[in-house]
Chains A and B, each alone.
Chain A
């Protein structure tokens, strides 16, 4: 059975800190890994990763995938209170298009 494990489950940091969120997976016929940010409503798309070692960057957020060790990290630098959210990692296998989500990391950034 496919598995997506995120760590830590929750995290509290001060504004300005840098955080690293982890996502490891066991998926048959892996195709892609996606990161989403979920605040009060539905998830918003952050990144999609398909190749190892290529960093994707958007402002203070960046992410990279390691297909050999089967994990991805999401980095947030100079955190702000608006970064407080649940960050979800999901993987897609070649068997279809469904997203298999991890349980998420709940990030709280305090002023």
Chain B
């Protein structure tokens, strides 16, 4: 149980384009989903927290207009990187939590974004 999928697993795009990444909880309802970013040999940095049906809460320094997050249902959250630039190239990982009674987050397999 507690499986989280992400799509796509890898994407290469040109500078200036927008990229959408999907995160799905496959066998549970995710009240809360999180988006992280990880640079090589570094730990995960939280970008934003999203709750179903409400606006995402962004961490300090994360541009909400650049990283659009939508959490339209209890099983799906999307992250859209708008007008991507090479410095946005990174490993993006989502996680999902089953509810407010647990802190355990289950992670998706991640999306490797490369912006040329």
Contact = CB atoms under 8 A, between A and B. Distances in A.
Judge: A and B partners, yes or no. Answer: yes
A45 B3 CA distance: 11
Contacts of A31: 103
Given A97-B32, A98-B49, A103-B43, A34 B109 contact: no
Interface in A94-110: 96-104
Contact of A45 (B43, B104, B108): B104
B103 A92 contact: yes
A100 B49 CA distance: 13
Interface of A: 31-32, 34, 36, 41-45, 48, 88, 92, 96-104
Given A42-B95, A104-B43, 20 more contacts: A31-B103, A34-B103, A42-B107, A42-B109, A43-B44, A43-B93, A44-B107, A45-B2, A45-B104, A48-B104, A88-B44, A97-B32, A97-B49, A97-B105, A98-B34, A98-B46, A98-B59, A99-B103, A99-B105, A103-B43
